[in-house]
């Protein structure tokens, strides 16, 4: 064994993990890094819950007959899958885990601006989870994660009111995290850390936080109105009292379209970091990438009607929303072009995180482009509520956000826990995930285009081959996800000690210990250079490449 990574001489330095082992030091911790770890554990649990529902859906769809679950049960299963994945994994995933851990460190701060509020947001999140699981245990909900009225407000027999309260409460957790990030990024940057020296990860989190602050209150109120309507027949969405069910969709998508950017923007921030570190180059067109995050945040608010082309929405409004939808794809495309240009002539090092980053670029591009199909009003009349939509949003959310989450988790794992993960295992799991993902979701584009509707559990025989392919792919994908869930915890004890900067990457987080001390830095860092200041033509150290 060579000695590229020195084993610590005598005693490991005090860090945020070994400073105190008592359980109280965790559950009452206001350290952003410990809270990030608690979020990580919680979210890992939720992805297992959501994943189990997904397995049931895919198993049911392996045969054309509805032979495994009854229709009512099937409705509940896909609803729980959507609710758990969207509200308890996709939305908090990157910001609450990686963002919580890294935002203060990357800007050279000791903690977030409001550490206690940060802890509060975690417990609110936990309450939201418990109530959702309670709703599931008490009979579940069958409305789909979108809670459309009048079904949810008048007809459904499930635990809609309880689930609504759960989602309402969870929203506050997001809002508090977003608020914390905005204030921290405005007020707590280290000396010399100007706005245009911020890592793009920070820009992405800033834009995301703005979206969270401006949109989440709307969904909270909307969902409360549904609950009130069920309990007291207020009549906002009920035509018999002069209400309008389509109003629900306006209010819901006012949040939920921007919410898809809450999921993807932080992931894009991760990708910018990975691509730059493993190409050893400054991100091409840094200011443009930074502003494209803000552009997405703003324009993303004006396109929600593209979810409503086949409702009673006026044709005029549909046209307006369709045109603006074409615009919102521009900043996303800018990012893709800039990442690819960053890699051009860079010294590309195919580590696990880089494998995930490149997979992200491909999968997100497919997801984004098919979004354009759907945003085209005429075409969407045909595609709406088919498996084409399901394939589209899984390409962006699973192929995009989840892939970036894995990439980021591997990249910063040595920073978070001080140990390296097994590199070859990582590459293998990245490959399995990429193949399994495409096998699961590409057939769904074809199925949807041929007209297979979403949310039904029977289908004509001639679609079975593609459905079986999809179920087989899902099995592979699940395996790919389980692998890191095994080897990452394993590496906590058996991985190589990482050292401060195993990737020789730029950024304040790589200048502090791994794992960092409780207050991140021994003395306040002073920033003197732009982000990603790799010298022209920089190369990775050859010995570093042998991880």
Partner 1 sequence: MSSTHPHITPLKVYFLVFATLIAGTWLTYFVAYKDFGWLNTPVAMAIAIVKAGVVVLYFMHVKWQSRLTMMFAAGGFIWLFTLFAFTLQDYFTRSWMPLYQ
- List interacting residues with Cu ion (CB under 5 A): 257
The site for ligand HEM (CB under 6 A) is made up of 146, 260, 263-264, 306-307, 325, 328-329, 332, 368, 371-372, 374-375, 380, 383-384, 389, 392-393, 396-397, 400-401
CB of residue 362 to partner 1, shortest distance in Å: 33
114 part of the interface to partner 1, by CB under 8 A: no
CA distance 516 to 519: 8
Find all residues with CB under 8 Å of 5, minimum gap 6, and list them.
Answer: 420, 496, 497, 498, 499, 502
314 part of the interface to partner 1, by CB under 8 A: yes
CB of residue 149 to partner 1, shortest distance in Å: 15
372 vs 435, beta carbon nearer ligand HEM = 372
CB of residue 482 to ligand HEM, shortest distance in Å: 23
Binding site partner of 186, from ligand HEM, Cu ion, partner 1, none, Cβ cut-off 5-8 A by kind:
partner 1
Given the rule CB under 8 A, which of 13-21, 30-38, 314-322, 409-417 is the region that contacts partner 1?
314-322
301 part of the interface to partner 1, by CB under 8 A: yes
Binding site partner of 329, from Cu ion, partner 1, ligand HEM, none, Cβ cut-off 5-8 A by kind:
ligand HEM
- Alpha carbon dihedral 157, 161, 164, 170, in 10-degree steps, equals -130
254 part of the interface to partner 1, by CB under 8 A: yes
CB of residue 79 to Cu ion, shortest distance in Å: 19
305 vs 399, beta carbon nearer partner 1 = 305
Binding site partner of 314, from ligand HEM, partner 1, Cu ion, none, Cβ cut-off 5-8 A by kind:
partner 1
171 part of the interface to partner 1, by CB under 8 A: no
Structure tokens at 333: 């495309």
Positions 320 through 379 that interact with partner 1 (CB under 8 A): 320
305 part of the interface to partner 1, by CB under 8 A: yes
CA distance 261 to 212: 10
252 part of the interface to partner 1, by CB under 8 A: no
Binding site partner of 107, from partner 1, Cu ion, ligand HEM, none, Cβ cut-off 5-8 A by kind:
none
Positive or negative CA dihedral for 100, 169, 207, 395?
Answer: positive
Residue 91 CB-density burial (10 A; 0-12 exposed, 13-18 middle, 19+ buried): buried
CA distance 45 to 300: 30
CA distance 451 to 432: 29
CA distance 493 to 230: 52
Q: Residue holding tokens 């309260």?
A: 165
138 part of the interface to partner 1, by CB under 8 A: no
Positive or negative CA dihedral for 259, 263, 268, 273?
Answer: positive
Grouping H, G, I as helix, E, B as strand and the rest as coil, residue 453 is strand
Given the rule CB under 8 A, which of 146-154, 307-315, 449-457, 537-545 is the region that contacts partner 1?
307-315
C-alpha separations of 140 from 56, 163, 164, 241, 313 in Å = 15, 8, 12, 28, 30
CB of residue 328 to partner 1, shortest distance in Å: 14
From 324, 328, 334, 338, select the one nearest 377 (Cα to Cα): 324
Mask of contacts with partner 1, 10-29, x by CB under 8 A? --------------------
Binding site partner of 396, from ligand HEM, Cu ion, partner 1, none, Cβ cut-off 5-8 A by kind:
ligand HEM
Structure tokens at 436: 């399994």
Q: Which of 151, 302, 442, 519 binds partner 1 (CB under 8 A)?
A: 302
Find all residues with CB under 8 Å of 310, minimum gap 6, and list them.
Answer: 380, 381, 384, 385
CB of residue 39 to ligand HEM, shortest distance in Å: 19
CB of residue 392 to ligand HEM, shortest distance in Å: 6
Q: Residue holding tokens 């840094």?
A: 286
263 vs 505, beta carbon nearer ligand HEM = 263
DSSP classification of residue 386: B
Q: Which of 58, 250, 280, 506 binds partner 1 (CB under 8 A)?
A: 250
Count of residues interacting with partner 1 (CB under 8 A) = 22
Positive or negative CA dihedral for 442, 445, 450, 456?
Answer: positive
Instruction: State residue 4 phi and psi, 5-degree precision.
Output: -65, -35
Q: Name the site residues for partner 1 (rule: CB under 8 A).
A: 182, 186, 213-215, 218, 246-247, 250-251, 254, 301-302, 304-305, 312-317, 320
């Amino acid at each position: 064994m060579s000695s590229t990574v020195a084993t610590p001489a005598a005693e490991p330095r005090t860090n945020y993990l070994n400073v105190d082992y008592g359980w109280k030091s965790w559950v009452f911790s206001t350290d952003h890094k410990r809270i990030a770890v608690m979020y990580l554990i919680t979210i890992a649990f939720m992805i297992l819950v959501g994943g189990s529902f997904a397995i049931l859906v895919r198993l049911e769809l392996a045969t054309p007959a509805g032979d495994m679950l009854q229709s009512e049960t099937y409705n509940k299963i896909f609803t729980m899958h959507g609710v758990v994945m969207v509200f308890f994994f996709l939305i908090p995933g990157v910001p609450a885990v990686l963002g919580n851990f890294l935002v203060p460190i990357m800007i050279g701060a000791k903690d977030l601006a409001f550490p206690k509020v940060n802890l509060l947001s975690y417990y609110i999140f936990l309450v939201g989870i418990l109530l959702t699981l309670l709703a599931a245990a008490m009979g579940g909900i069958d409305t789909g994660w979108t809670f459309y009225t009048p079904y949810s407000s008048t007809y459904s027999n499930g635990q809609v009111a309880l689930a609504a309260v759960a989602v309402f409460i969870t929203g506050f957790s997001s809002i508090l995290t977003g608020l914390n990030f905005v204030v921290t990024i405005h007020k707590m940057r280290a000396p010399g850390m100007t706005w245009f020296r911020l890592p793009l990860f920070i820009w992405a989190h800033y834009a995301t936080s703005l979206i969270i602050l401006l949109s989440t209150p709307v969904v909270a109120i909307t969902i409360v109105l549904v609950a009130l309507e069920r309990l007291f027949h207020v009549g906002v969405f009920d035509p018999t009292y002069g209400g309008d069910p389509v109003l629900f969709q306006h209010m819901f998508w006012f949040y939920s379209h921007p919410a898809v950017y809450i999921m993807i923007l932080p992931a894009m921030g991760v990708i910018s970091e990975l691509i730059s570190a493993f190409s050893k180059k400054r991100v091409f067109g840094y200011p443009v990438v930074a502003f494209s995050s803000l552009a997405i945040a703003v324009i993303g608010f004006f396109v929600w009607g593209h979810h409503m082309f086949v409702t009673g929405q006026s044709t005029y409004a549909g046209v307006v929303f369709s045109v603006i939808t074409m615009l919102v794809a521009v900043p996303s495309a800018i990012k893709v072009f800039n990442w690819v240009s960053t890699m051009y002539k860079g010294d590309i090092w195919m580590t696990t995180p880089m494998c995930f980053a490149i997979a992200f670029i491909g999968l997100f591009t497919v997801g984004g482009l098919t979004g354009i199909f759907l945003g085209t009003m005429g075409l969407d009349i045909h595609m709406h509520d088919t498996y084409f939509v399901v394939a589209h949003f899984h390409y962006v959310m699973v192929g995009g956000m989840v892939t970036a989450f894995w990439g980021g988790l591997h990249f910063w794992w040595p920073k978070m826990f001080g140990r390296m993960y097994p590199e070859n295992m990582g590459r293998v799991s990245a490959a399995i995930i990429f193949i399994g993902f495409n096998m699961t979701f590409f057939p769904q584009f074809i199925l949807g285009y041929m007209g297979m509707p979403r949310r039904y559990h029977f289908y004509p025989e001639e679609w079975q081959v593609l459905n079986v392919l999809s179920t087989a792919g899902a099995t592979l994908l699940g395996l790919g996800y389980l692998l890191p869930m095994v080897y990452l915890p394993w590496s906590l004890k058996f991985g190589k000690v990482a050292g401060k900067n195993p990737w020789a990457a730029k950024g304040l987080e790589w200048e502090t210990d791994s794992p960092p001390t409780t207050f991140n830095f021994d003395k306040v860092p002073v920033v003197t250079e732009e982000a990603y200041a790799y010298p022209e033509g920089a190369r990775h150290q050859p010995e570093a490449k042998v991880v």
